[in-house]
Structure formats: C-alpha cells, structure tokens
Amino acid sequence: MVNQIEIYKSLDNKIELNVSLDQGTVWLNRQQISILFDRDIKTIGKHVNNVFEEGELDKKSVVANFATTATDGKTYHVDFYNLDVIISVGYRVKSKQGTQFRQWATQRLNDYLVKGYAINEKRLKEAENKFQELKQAVSLLESIATTKAITGDEAQGLLKVLGDYAFALDVLDQYDHQTLKIVESDNREVFRISYTEAKKAIEGLKIKFGGSQLFGNEKDDSFKGSLETIYQTFDGKELYTTIEEKAAHLLYFVTKNHSFSDGNKRIAAFLFVWFLDRNALLYYLGNKVIDDNALVALTLMIAESKSDDKDMMVKVVVNLINNRKVQS
C-alpha cells in the first residue's frame, strides 16, 4: 500500500503525474515514465529491461507491484519502478526532463525523511526522553539536508541496520562548543576485527538487503586499509588505545573511504555496532547503549564532515559510547 501521493508538474506545466512515495523513494509505472520522457512505452520497456540485463540495478530491489485503480474502475496490480530506475532510463533516453524530475524527487524525499519523523511522533512518544532524543536527531538531519540531498533509501537502509539500539545525545552540546575530550577507559579488548571476519559479516548483511551485487563490492583495497588503520602503532604503542576509540575510527574510516560500490554507510554503521558487541560494550546494565536515530545522525554527520573535523567527530562518537556511565 502506497504511503503518499505527490503531484509532479514540469516547469512548462505540460506534464502532470501522480507520483507514489513509499519505502523511502518515489515510484512510477512504465506508462508514467513514457509520459515523463516523451517516449513510447515500448522504448521505455526496452531501456528498463536493459538496465536489469546489464546488471546496472538489481530488479528485486527497485521494482514493486502496487494495486492501481484504472479508468474502468477495476483494480489491477502494476509494476512500479523506483527513482534509481527512473534516473537510469533518463540517462539512456538523454532527456533533460530527467534532471528536473530528479531534483524535484530528491527535495520531496528530503521532506519525507525529516517530516516523516514528525508524523510518527505518537508512536515515538512511548518514552518522553526518547522523544527528546528524536528531536535532536531530526535537527541534525535537517542541517545535513541543507548541504546535500539525502535519499530516502539511504536513511531507511541505516534504520534497518540499527533498529534496536539505545543511547543518549547529551554530549552534542559539548561538540558545538568544541569542548569534548576522550576519557581513558578500563575496558579490555576481547575481539580484534579482521578482514576475513568483517567480510563474512558484510556478506550476511548483503543477504539482509536483497543480495545486490553492488552491495559490499569492494572498489579497491581501502576497506582493508581502514581495518588496519584502527590498529596502527607508533614507537611500539597503539595510537588508539581504547576500544571506544577503535570503534569510533572504524565508523569514521569505513564511512569516509567509500570502499564499496553500494552500502558504505550501512556497512559502516553495522560494523560499528558489531565491533562493540563482540567487545562486550554494546550493553550496559542490561540496556543497549546505542540509539538508532543517534547513530543515523552521526553516520550522516561523518559523511558530510570535512577532513579537518575528523578528531572532533571521533570524540563525539567516543563520548556518546561512554555516556552510558554518566546515565547510570
């Protein structure tokens, strides 16, 4: 069932389409795509099929079957294609209309992402403190959305990985005032992340997200370098001495290095919580220490941050992990 319908109009008002918003993206059927790009349905069908046959997109991930009421009053199930397919077809038919539609859709999805949290306030008010954390996370997302178009798929994918975790955002005001410090911890490392084990974990995550060939596909050796970096030494001593620092740098490097063809942020967030769990730091006094909205916000902040902000971003992550001690 489609969550929302938006009306798209071209700048010259010659095209008007009812665009479906669902699952964090926009959807059009073949007839609508043919109207959008002013091509006949057979031509659109040929380009859509080529997108899948050439392995550009995974059909299972980008096609949905929606119930549609036709002009005869009857309901039919029709295949709809998400924004990734629409953009790919737009490139193939070389239509300027594709750029306009992409810009329009991106803005609608940004609105959908941020405002969607407000729509779900009733469900999220189960605990007032959680609701306050949510407002802070939305504030962060809004600030990021002003600098970059964030797709609904991106946010939805992150939330799928991070569905259960809980920790507070109390130290973010310290981040604003540049007063964060890393406090030494007495946690002992029980798990060292290796390339082989990390790849196995990512393969499991790949299955969870539909088995796309691009998801988790390494573009170069930078992922292996990210793992090696968190254990680097100087004069025989590790540069990052605590588990929290290692975890924070793991999140930072995997997010920023763009080592994979698809899924970089989801993989980074997943490995972060997986690493903490393997080192017995994901729970404190029976409670999970990482909140999904906070980690979504942090991952997006890291992705948009400048290289000069690296040390401060790491301090934010470390302090948010250690915030469980303050709360108890």
Based on the fold, state whether residues 278 and 136 are members of the same structural domain. yes
**Percent of the chain at pLDDT above 70?**
70
**318 or 185: which leads in pLDDT:** 318
CA neighbours closer than 13 Å in the CB half-sphere of residue 221: 3
pLDDT at residue 289, rounded to an integer:
66
Based on the fold, state whether residues 96 and 186 are members of the same structural domain. no
Report in angstroms the alpha-carbon separations of 142 from 103, 127, 301: 17, 23, 11
Q: Is residue 37 part of a domain?
A: yes
Based on the fold, state whether residues 68 and 156 are members of the same structural domain. no
pLDDT at residue 130, rounded to an integer:
44
The model carries a pTM of 0.48
Based on the fold, state whether residues 88 and 193 are members of the same structural domain. no
Based on the fold, state whether residues 236 and 97 are members of the same structural domain. no
pLDDT at residue 194, rounded to an integer:
93
Q: How many domains, the chain?
A: 2
Based on the fold, state whether residues 98 and 141 are members of the same structural domain. no
Predicted confidence (pLDDT) at residue 151 exceeds the cutoff of 60: no
Q: Is residue 182 part of a domain?
A: yes
Q: Which two tokens stand for residue 73?
A: 């009053």
Based on the fold, state whether residues 159 and 12 are members of the same structural domain. no
Predicted confidence (pLDDT) at residue 110 exceeds the cutoff of 80: no
Which residue range is the domain that position 248 belongs to? 126-327
Give the integer Cα–Cα distance in Å for 99 and 29: 18
Q: Is residue 154 part of a domain?
A: yes
Based on the fold, state whether residues 146 and 57 are members of the same structural domain. no
pLDDT at residue 111, rounded to an integer:
63
**Residue 169 belongs to domain with CATH number:** 1.20.120.1870
Contacts of 214 (CB under 8 A, 6+ apart): 58, 260, 261, 262, 263
Picking from 74, 107, 140, the residue at the C-terminal end of a domain is: 107
Based on the fold, state whether residues 239 and 296 are members of the same structural domain. yes
pLDDT at residue 181, rounded to an integer:
58
pLDDT at residue 169, rounded to an integer:
38
Predicted confidence (pLDDT) at residue 253 exceeds the cutoff of 50: yes
Based on the fold, state whether residues 45 and 185 are members of the same structural domain. no
Average pLDDT over residues 263-284: 89
pLDDT at residue 235, rounded to an integer:
86
Picking from 107, 141, 173, the residue at the C-terminal end of a domain is: 107
Give the integer Cα–Cα distance in Å for 25 and 10: 19
3-state helix, strand, coil in the chain (%, to 5): 55, 15, 30
Q: Is residue 47 part of a domain?
A: yes
- Evaluate whether 260 touches 223 at the Cβ level (below 8 Å): yes
Q: Considering only 111-125, 225-239, 257-271, which range has the smallest mean pLDDT?
A: 111-125
Based on the fold, state whether residues 69 and 163 are members of the same structural domain. no
pLDDT at residue 131, rounded to an integer:
43
pLDDT at residue 144, rounded to an integer:
52
pLDDT at residue 323, rounded to an integer:
63
pLDDT at residue 122, rounded to an integer:
44
- Evaluate whether 305 touches 313 at the Cβ level (below 8 Å): yes
Q: Is residue 62 part of a domain?
A: yes
Based on the fold, state whether residues 178 and 318 are members of the same structural domain. yes
pLDDT at residue 158, rounded to an integer:
46
Q: Is residue 112 part of a domain?
A: no
What is the three-class DSSP state of 14? coil
Q: Is residue 97 part of a domain?
A: yes
Q: Is residue 114 part of a domain?
A: no
pLDDT at residue 120, rounded to an integer:
46
Q: How many residues does the chain have?
A: 328
Tens of pLDDT, residue by residue over 278-295, are: 998 887 766 666 666 667
